[in-house]
Structure formats: C-alpha cells, structure tokens
C-alpha cells in the first residue's frame, strides 16, 4: 500500500558514528547541537524538597519529594499563552536501579525460617521512586530552559499515591481486596513505561511490567486464575523483581481463605491499566481507566479525526503478544472541556489481526459477541477487560514481536509501531514466522506501519506494510537472520517512537550494548528517519549501559527532551565515580533552529 501523504520533512544534520567505546559515559549529538542534563533521579521536586545525596542517603520521605528513577515515557504540555517557552513536563519513572538507589544496594535479610525479607524503609523508597513527575518549566530572559522550583504544579505521583479505579471493571468482585472491599480504590502506580496524552490536556501513564511485582505462591490456585497465569505473574517462592511482598502484604497475591476476598489475591488485577493524570490540577486524584483493558502495556498513543472521533493505540510488550486500540464511544469536543472528562470510561477495545496479504482487521473485545461468553470464562465485560489477553486469544489475534511504542504521523494519521525483538519467533511452536514478523530468532526487531480505512481512527479494517527491519546490512558478516533493511545507520531493538511536529520519525533503541550481537552498533541511540524515503540517520548516542527512551518537544520543533534510562557508569556527572542517575536531557540547536533539519 502507498504510505505517503504526510508533510515531507527535511533531515539535515550530519549523522554520528556508532559509539563503540566501552567506557563512553556521555551523551553526544551532532555538530551544532547541545545536549545537557535537565532533570535527574533525586533532583528536588521543588524549592522546599531535600537535595539529592550522592551517597544515596536520602530516605523514602525525601524520595517522595525528589525525581523518581528510570525515566521513561514523557510529554510536554504547553501553556497556551507561551507554548514554546512555558509548559509542564510530565515524566514516567518505570522502575528502580536498587544498586544505586540505596547506599549499598538492596538489603535482603532472613527471617527465623530462613526466608528472605526486605526492610520496609527500603521498599518504601523503591515505591516512592516509581511513578510520575510533573515539573513546571519555562525559558528565562536569556532563552534558557529552567525549572520553576516554586511552582504549585510540581508534583510526584508514586507507588504510594491513592488512585481511583473507574470504568466497567471498577467495583467488580475480581477488583475487591481485604484492604479495598469497594474495588474502586487502589494505592499507587508503578512499571510506568511509555505514555499517552489526550487532546483535553491529561497524561496517560501506562503500567507495563507489573506481573513481576506480585507473587502467588500457591501453584494450583495460580493455574486456576487466567488473570495471573496468562500474564505470567510471578509464581514460586518470590516475586521476580524486588521482594516487596516480604515487606507489604498487598504484593503477596497468595489466597488467604480466612480473610474477606481471600486477602490480596485480587491486588494484581488492579494493575496493568492506563492511569489518567491531570497535570494542570495538582490536587487531582489519578484515575485508572479499566475500559482500555489490562495488559503489560507499553503506551496509549492518541489519534484524533477532524470530527472528534479518536483511537488510542497500544502494544502489550511480551514475546508473542498483541497490538490493541481503544475507540471511545463519544467524540472529543474541543468546545466543551467538561464533556471529555469521562471519555475513556466508555468505548470499545479492539485487537489487531495482520493478514499476510497486507490487510488488517480490528476485532472487538466485547462481552456477548462471538466467543466472549460465560461458557468461555467471560461472564461480563469486567472479565473481558481483566483478562484481555485471554479474550484476544479467542478472537484469533496475531502474535507479534514484542510491540513497544506507537506513533501517529501528523497529517496522514498513518500509525507506526516498534516491534522490538523476539528471540522465540520461529522457535516457539505458537509463533511461526509470518509476513508481519518475518525473521526467525528476531534479535533486532522491525517497524511496521498501517493506514486505517479512510484514515478513520475508528475503522475496523486497515492496510499495513513493514517500514524497515532493523539489524546489520544484508551481506554483512552477521548471520543472515540478523540482516535488516535499514537505509542508513545501523541499530537494533527499536523501542521509543515519536513524530516531531514536522513529520520526522524519531526512533529510540533498547538493546544490551554489552552483547556480542550488538557490538558494532555501539551504545543505545536516537535516530531520525524520513517516513517517505526510509532514510535513517543517527542523531544521538548515549552513555554505556543505558537505554534511550522518552521523547517530547515544543510545538515549534526547537526544543527536544529525551531520557537516558539506567546509565551504567557515572552519567550525568561523567566523572567516573559518582553513582549514575537516570536523566532527562534537554536538546537544542546552537543557532536556536528547528531540530533535525
């Protein structure tokens, strides 16, 4: 299918070589550009908050008022009177680097029975370092971006912040716990990876790797619960990540039949959602919108038609999982802001089928339609949403190579998705090679794009094509299954994806820069692509050990922010001794011009 029609962007910078120095500990951008650390883990949220201690000696109460860790998706919300010089920057904090968050890394004690136990203070600090930051920023008289430290907008949302559950699954029996018998109140958000935003000015923090934060120690009970087994919740003696269950019982989803609602067995059902946050109302309570389904969700990228119809696109980032969209029942109304507040509570969740001939279909996850009935384990819409993966299985959706970010091209509304990699493709019987996922043992990933029929975000059919396969050039020394189709600079594992206002496609990578398969690609990177010609140029290389993720900018295209997540050496101090800190990086051009041209 022809994929043209957006604005034709210009790419004019001189690309950087791959950064293969094993000790590289900085951010590098092309000549004529500048990249400076702007907001790092531990930075005080406002003028009253405690300063970051280089020995990681800040306690959890300090951490609640400092930047969280592992910066990921983010979005810039301009103020209308000065959109290119004043706004709110909202940033996800996906997870924690426990080696650096605590003075001597994570402490694991033992109880009398020899079982591991985490100190409550450390667990609270980890919860406090997850979530979201809202910071007010403005250009000063010299044209330099500054944080407004006295702003009442500055806010931390964390794993300890009270939230509301709304939509069809709120209040369902499967959402009730001993500590919340209403099924409508939940403490915290975490695993906030990528993001979305809405035309009515709210931020959508998405919950990704939550199955690793809970454990059900009862193997038989676990197998009876598709909302746990199908999502690979931790099973066994401990949770996969941080052992929070040893300090706070709500992370232990093992049923306790002596308690109402069997204790906390339903607590994991209250994660995996889209969390809507109003950054312009610092007193607002975040809302988990259950109509959008429960997934290991990467993002929630909006597409808006001229008549107010919308879609939000997202991937479920696990090997062989699906791509979805949510279409609100009602239209967005620019003239009536109050009417938009509950748009995300009513609508249809769809899952994608990619046929080998380039056609695609959206199949609705709607209770009572097709196989989604009580006999198949879906007695109501709440059950469909809580086990969206299981419902999508019954609809014959296409298993993809780990869908990460989605970006919508300005003007044409073409949709692009990163499929980051999948070493089980063609190896696992359930994941045969197909046209959309064409390489076995896919180490380097691909970018796929589609166009909805009539460019209507609510359409139920689309045409799709591959944009590129990442990896080494065909004919190179690498094994043939690692060959890609990139026209330009080489990279692997595309993850973050974003269109700037002029229609340039920015690609961010997340691969293991220590592995032999990635050696020649250097450290993780930000690249810029022309969606029409397919040309790709390397714009930024990051410090050793980090992932490059999160990207947003001003409407005039002259300011860009990206995130350096989990740098490995000492960035941003880059002195070889200070502990490394995840950091939002500010990128501008020396001549003040548009970035990328």
Residue 56 CB, nearest approach to ligand FEO (Å): 23
Strand partners, 507: 497, 527
Select 401 or 510, whichever has its Cβ closest to Ca ion. Answer: 510
Residue 409 CB, nearest approach to ligand FEO (Å): 22
Q: Can you list the pairs that 439-443 forms with residues at least 24 positions away whose Cβ atoms lie under 8 Å?
A: 439/469, 439/481, 440/481, 441/481, 442/401, 442/481, 443/471, 443/481, 443/482, 443/492, 443/517
The helix or strand, by DSSP H or E, that contains position 392, with its residue range, turns out to be helix 388-394
* Residue 278 near Ca ion by CB under 5 A: no
Q: Which does 424 bind (CB under 5 to 8 A by kind): ligand FEO, Ca ion, none?
A: none
Select 317 or 530, whichever has its Cβ closest to ligand FEO. Answer: 317
**How many CB atoms sit inside 10 A of residue 211's CB?**
23
- Contact positions with ligand FEO (CB under 6 A) in 189-208: 193, 208
Select 401 or 404, whichever has its Cβ closest to Ca ion. Answer: 404
Select 92 or 234, whichever has its Cβ closest to Ca ion. Answer: 92
Residue 298 CB, nearest approach to ligand FEO (Å): 5
Strand partners, 371: none
Q: Report, in angstroms and rounded to the nearest whole number, the Rg of the chain calculated over CA atoms.
A: 23
Strand ranges in 490-534 using DSSP code E only, listed in sequence order: 494-499, 505-509, 525-529
Residue 496 CB, nearest approach to ligand FEO (Å): 9
The residue from 495, 508, 513, 594 that contacts Ca ion (CB under 5 A) is 495
Residue 418 CB, nearest approach to ligand FEO (Å): 9
Between CA 549 and CA 508 the distance in angstroms is 6
Count the site residues for ligand FEO by CB under 6 A: 6
**How many CB atoms sit inside 10 A of residue 21's CB?**
12
DSSP for 289-348 reads: EGGG--SSB--BEEEE-TTS-EEEEEEB-SBT--EEEEEESSPP-TT-GGGGTTGGGSEE
* Residue 317 near ligand FEO by CB under 6 A: yes
Select 56 or 470, whichever has its Cβ closest to ligand FEO. Answer: 470
Between CA 241 and CA 126 the distance in angstroms is 11
Select 344 or 406, whichever has its Cβ closest to ligand FEO. Answer: 406
Residue 550 CB, nearest approach to ligand FEO (Å): 11
- Residue 227 to residues 14, 50, 363, 498, Cα–Cα distance (Å): 49, 41, 20, 32
**Closest residue by Cα to residue 69 from 116, 26, 106, 120:** 106
How many residues appear in the chain?
Answer: 597
β-bridge pairing 274-277 and 203-207: antiparallel
**Closest residue by Cα to residue 246 from 218, 214, 271:** 214
Q: Which does 136 bind (CB under 5 to 8 A by kind): ligand FEO, Ca ion, none?
A: none
Q: Which does 208 bind (CB under 5 to 8 A by kind): ligand FEO, Ca ion, none?
A: ligand FEO
Q: Which does 25 bind (CB under 5 to 8 A by kind): Ca ion, ligand FEO, none?
A: none
* Residue 126 near ligand FEO by CB under 6 A: no
Both tokens of 173, joined, read 């029996």
Residue 70 CB, nearest approach to ligand FEO (Å): 9
Count the site residues for Ca ion by CB under 5 A: 4
- Contact positions with ligand FEO (CB under 6 A) in 37-56: none
Residue 405 CB, nearest approach to ligand FEO (Å): 8
In degrees to the nearest 10, what's the CA dihedral of 422, 426, 428, 432?
110
Residue 366 CB, nearest approach to Ca ion (Å): 29
Q: Which does 321 bind (CB under 5 to 8 A by kind): Ca ion, ligand FEO, none?
A: none
Select 71 or 367, whichever has its Cβ closest to Ca ion. Answer: 71
* Residue 157 near ligand FEO by CB under 6 A: no
**Closest residue by Cα to residue 21 from 506, 519, 483, 539:** 519
Contact flags string 535-564 toward Ca ion, x per CB under 5 A: ------------x-----------------
Residue 271 CB, nearest approach to ligand FEO (Å): 14
Query: What residue is closest to ligand FEO based on CB?
Result: 193
β-bridge pairing 535-541 and 487-488: parallel
Helices H / strands E in the chain, number of each: 7, 35
Identify which range of 246-254, 337-345, 375-383, 397-405 contacts Ca ion by CB under 5 A: 397-405
**How many CB atoms sit inside 10 A of residue 479's CB?**
12
* Residue 508 near Ca ion by CB under 5 A: no
* Residue 94 near ligand FEO by CB under 6 A: yes
Measured in degrees and rounded to the nearest 5, phi and psi for residue 300 equal -150, 75
Select 191 or 310, whichever has its Cβ closest to ligand FEO. Answer: 191
Residue 496 CB, nearest approach to Ca ion (Å): 7
The residue from 25, 404, 452, 530 that contacts Ca ion (CB under 5 A) is 404
Both tokens of 81, joined, read 């009177």
Select 246 or 552, whichever has its Cβ closest to ligand FEO. Answer: 552
Instruction: Write the CB contacts of 197 (distance below 8 Å, at least 6 apart in sequence).
Output: 75, 77, 203, 204, 302
The residue from 345, 404, 452, 513 that contacts ligand FEO (CB under 6 A) is 404
Query: What residue is closest to Ca ion based on CB?
Result: 510
* Residue 298 near ligand FEO by CB under 6 A: yes
Q: Cα 511 from chain centroid?
A: 16
**Closest residue by Cα to residue 297 from 191, 416, 153:** 191
Return residues touching Ca ion (CB under 5 A): 404, 495, 510, 547
Residues of this chain that interact with ligand FEO (CB under 6 A) are 94, 193, 208, 298, 317, 404
């Amino acid at each position: 299918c022809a994929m043209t029609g957006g604005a034709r962007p210009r790419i004019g910078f001189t690309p950087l070589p791959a950064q293969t120095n094993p000790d590289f500990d900085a951010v590098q951008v092309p000549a004529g550009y500048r990249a400076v650390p702007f907001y790092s883990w531990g930075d005080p949220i406002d003028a009253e908050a405690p300063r970051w201690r280089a020995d990681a000696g800040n306690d959890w109460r300090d951490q609640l008022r400092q930047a969280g860790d592992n910066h990921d998706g983010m979005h810039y919300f301009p103020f209308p009177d000065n959109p290119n010089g004043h706004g709110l920057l909202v940033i996800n904090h996906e997870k924690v680097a426990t080696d650096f968050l605590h003075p001597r890394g994570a402490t694991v004690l033992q109880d009398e029975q020899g079982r591991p136990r985490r100190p409550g203070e450390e667990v609270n600090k980890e919860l406090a370092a997850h979530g979201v930051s809202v910071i007010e920023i403005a250009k000063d008289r010299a044209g330099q971006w500054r944080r407004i430290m006295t702003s009442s907008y500055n806010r931390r949302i964390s794993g300890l912040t009270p939230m509301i559950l709304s939509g069809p699954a709120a209040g369902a029996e499967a959402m009730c716990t001993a500590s919340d018998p209403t099924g409508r109140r939940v403490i915290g958000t975490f695993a906030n990876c990528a993001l979305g935003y809405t035309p009515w000015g709210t931020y959508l923090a998405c919950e990704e790797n939550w199955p690793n934060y809970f454990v059900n120690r009862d193997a038989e009970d676990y197998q009876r619960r598709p909302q746990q087994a199908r999502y690979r919740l931790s099973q066994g003696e401990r949770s996969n990540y941080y052992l929070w269950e040893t300090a706070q019982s709500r992370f232990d989803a093992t049923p306790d039949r002596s308690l109402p609602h069997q204790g906390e067995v339903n607590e994991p059902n209250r994660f995996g959602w889209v969390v809507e946050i109003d950054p312009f109302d610092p007193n607002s309570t975040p809302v988990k919108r259950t109509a959008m389904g429960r997934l290991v969700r990467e993002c929630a990228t909006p597409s808006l038609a001229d008549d107010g119809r919308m879609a939000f696109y997202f991937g479920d980032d696990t090997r062989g999982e699906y791509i979805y969209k949510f279409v609100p029942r009602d239209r967005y109304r620019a003239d009536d802001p109050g009417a938009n507040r509950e748009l995300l509570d009513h609508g249809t969740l769809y899952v994608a089928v990619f046929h080998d001939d380039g056609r695609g279909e959206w199949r609705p996850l709607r209770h009572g339609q097709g196989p989604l009935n009580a006999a198949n384990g879906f007695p109501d819409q709440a059950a469909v949403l809580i086990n969206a993966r299981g419902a999508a299985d019954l609809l014959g959706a296409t298993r993809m190579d780990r869908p990460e970010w989605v970006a919508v091209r300005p003007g044409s509304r073409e949709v692009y998705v990163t499929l980051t990699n999948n070493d089980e493709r063609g190896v696992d019987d359930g994941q045969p090679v197909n046209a959309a996922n064409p390489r076995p043992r896919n180490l380097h990933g691909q970018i796929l794009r589609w166009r909805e029929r009539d460019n209507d975000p609510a359409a139920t059919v689309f045409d799709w094509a591959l944009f590129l396969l990442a990896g080494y050039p065909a004919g190179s020394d690498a094994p043939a299954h690692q060959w890609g189709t990139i026209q330009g600079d080489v990279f692997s594992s595309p993850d973050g994806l974003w269109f700037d206002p002029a229609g340039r496609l920015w690609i961010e990578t997340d691969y293991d820069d220590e592995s032999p398969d990635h050696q020649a690609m250097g450290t993780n990177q930000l690249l810029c692509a022309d969606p029409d010609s397919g040309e790709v140029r390397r714009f930024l290389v990051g410090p050793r050990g980090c992932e490059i993720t999160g990207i947003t900018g001003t409407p005039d295209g002259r300011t860009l922010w990206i995130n350096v997540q989990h740098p490995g050496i000492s960035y941003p101090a880059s002195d070889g001794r200070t502990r490394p800190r995840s950091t939002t990086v500010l990128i501008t051009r020396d001549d003040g011009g548009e970035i990328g041209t």
